[in-house]
Amino acid sequence: MKSEIVESRQFFIWTFGLTVGTSVLVIPSSLALTAREDAWIGALVSLAINLLMVLLYIAISRRYPDLTWFEIMEAALGKPLGKLATCLYLFYFLILAGTLLGNLGFFLTSEILVDTPIEAIQVLFLVAVVFAARLGIAVFARVGELLFPWIVFFSLCLILALLPHTEWTYIQPVLENGWGPVLRAGFHTAMFQELVVLMAFLPLTKERRRAERSYFRAAGLGGLLLTIVVLLSVLVLGVQQAANSTFPAYALAKTIFLGEFIQRIEGALIALWILSFFVKTMLLTFAQLQGLKTLFGLRSYRHLIYPLAALILIVAWNTYIDSVYVAEIIQKVWANYSFVHLVLFPVLILAVGLCRRQGRRTSK
C-alpha cells in the first residue's frame, strides 16, 4: 500500500468525508439534547477540539515522517506493546465500521425502504466496499474526486433551500444554562469524528506539507458544515423536535417547500449522506487492512478483504440491535471509549517521542 501515492486534494476529500460521514444525520440530535438552544455553540466547540486533535496528529507524524499510524506505535512503544496497541485500534475500527453499516441499514429501512430486509441493504453496500477495496486505494482516491463535487452541490442545495424556513427565536436565550452543557456536548460530538484514521494514510501523500494543510483545512470545513446543519436543525425544527428526532437532518430536509413546486428534496440529503458514508467506510476498511498487514508482517492485504468484510457484517448484525440500545451506548459509553483512542494514546506516543529526543540530546 505504501507504493500508492495520494494527492493532497484527495487527502482533503477523505478528511472532509470522514468528518461529515454519518455525523450529518445523527449529531444534531445529541447536541440539541444536551446543549438545547446552544447546540450550534456546542458544534463550534467540537470543531475547535477536532482541530486541536489534528494538530496533535500532525505533530506525531512529523516525529515519524515515513511511518503509518500502526508503524508509529511499534516504533514508539516497542514491538510487543506496539502490536498490542495495533490490536486495540483494529478492534476500535472494526466496531466503528460495523456500527456505521448497522446505522446505514437502520436509516434506510426505517425511513425509505421500509419493506426491504435490512440485511439485503447491508450486504449490497458491503459488496461495493469489497469491490472498491480490491481495486486499491489509488482508485478509491480518484473516485473520491468524482464524488466530492456532488457532496458540495447537495450540501449547498440543502442549506440554501432551508434559509427561508428559519426562525431565529428558536436559538434564544443564548447560554441560558451556562457553558457546562455546551462543553459536554462539544466534547461528546468531537469523539465521533475519528480523524485519527487518516494517520494511516498520511505517509502515502506526495507533498507532505500540503497534505498536512489539507488535513487541517478539511477538518475545519467539515466541522463548519456540521455546525451549519446543527444550527439549521434548531432554527427550523425547534429544540424539542431536533432533540427527539432520530435523524433530525432528514426531518429537516422534508420541511423544504419552495414556490409550490420545490419540495420533498430529502433525496439530496440521502445522496449526500450515502456518498460521505461510503468514503468513511472505505477509509476504515483500508485502515484495518493496513493494520492487519503491519500486525502480521504481510506483503499484501488483498486476501484479507473478504474475511474482513464478513467480520464487519457480523459486527453490524450484532451491535446495531435497535436504535434505543445504540442511543444508550452512544450517550454513556462511546465518547469515553473513543477518547482513549483519539486523545490518550496519541498524547502518550507524542510524549514518548519527545522524551526519546530529549534523551538523545542529553547523551550527546
Average pLDDT value for residue range 116-120: 87
pLDDT at residue number 52: 94
Kindly tell me if the per-residue pLDDT of 364 is higher than 70: no
Q: Which of 57, 63, 11, 4 is nearest to 211 (CA)?
A: 11
Give the integer Cα–Cα distance in Å for 9 and 199: 16
pLDDT at residue number 346: 92
Q: What is the DSSP annotation of 202-263? A: GGGBSSHHHHHHHHHHHHHHHHHHHHHHHHHHHHHH-HHHHHH-SSHHHHHHHT-EETTTEE
pLDDT at residue number 56: 93
Give the integer Cα–Cα distance in Å for 362 and 197: 34
Kindly tell me if the per-residue pLDDT of 88 is higher than 80: yes
Q: What is the domain partition of the chain in residue ranges?
A: 8-363
pTM of the model: 0.89
Instruction: Classify each residue of 201-231 as buried b or exposed e, where b means 16 or more C-beta atoms within 10 Å of its C-beta.
Output: bbbbbeebeebbebbbebbbbbbebbbbbbb
- Tell me the per-residue pLDDT of 292-335, one tens digit each, with 9 for 90 and over: 998 888 888 888 999 999 999 998 888 777 667 777 777 778 88
Q: Domain spanning 8-363: which CATH class is it, in words?
A: mainly alpha
Contacts of 316 (CB under 8 A, 6+ apart): 98, 99, 101, 102, 105, 122
Q: Which of 251, 336, 314, 333 is nearest to 102 (CA)?
A: 314
Residue 275 pLDDT class (50, 70, 90 cuts): confident
Kindly tell me if the per-residue pLDDT of 57 is higher than 90: yes
Q: Which of 185-189, 232-236, 243-247, 343-347 has the highest mean predicted lDDT (pLDDT)?
A: 343-347
Residue 94 pLDDT class (50, 70, 90 cuts): very high
Contacts of 346 (CB under 8 A, 6+ apart): 53, 56, 57, 60, 196
Q: What is the DSSP annotation of 157-211? A: HHHHHHGGG--GGGG-STTTT-SHHHHHHHHHHHTTS-GGGGGGTGGGBSSHHHH
Query: How many CB atoms sit inside 10 A of residue 164's CB?
Result: 10
Kindly tell me if the per-residue pLDDT of 280 is higher than 70: yes
pLDDT at residue number 79: 87
